[in-house]
């Protein structure tokens, strides 16, 4: 299975997917930690996370897949939402909570 196929399978199988540095329990960068905190504040229990630090192919592959240069990257219902800044803005405006409940 190619990296693109793996990513496609991950984002279509799970409603909320976070490509991040580290794990949900131990984020390895501030942006990933911020995104995890926001998702927790939204009450999401089943976050599928992918630690890009343990797989260089996924780390580059997700950037190519989304055409977005940074990590973390959030996908909801198979759609790319954005990185930490966009997730923060959407959370503050209430858009993220609406998107997650759809």
Closest C-alpha among 68, 24, 25 to residue 50: 24
Q: How far is the first Cα of the chain from the last one, in angstroms, to the nearest whole number?
A: 30
**Contact 11/58 with Cβ under 8 angstroms?**
no
Query: Does 29 carry a binding-site annotation?
Result: yes
Question: Strand 48-51 vs strand 73-76: parallel, antiparallel, or unpaired?
Answer: unpaired
Closest C-alpha among 35, 33, 46, 18 to residue 91: 35
Binding residues for [2Fe-2S] cluster: 29
Binding residues: 29
């Amino acid at each position: 299975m190619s990296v693109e196929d793996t990513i496609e399978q991950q984002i279509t199988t799970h409603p909320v997917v976070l490509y991040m540095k580290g794990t949900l329990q131990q984020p390895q960068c501030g942006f990933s930690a911020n995104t995890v905190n926001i998702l927790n504040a939204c009450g999401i229990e089943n976050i599928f996370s992918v630690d890009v630090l343990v797989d260089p192919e996924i780390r580059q592959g997700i950037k190519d897949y989304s055409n977005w240069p940074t990590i973390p990257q959030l996908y909801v219902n198979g759609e790319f939402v954005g990185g930490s800044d966009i997730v923060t803005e959407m959370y503050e405006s209430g858009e993220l909570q609406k998107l997650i409940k759809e």
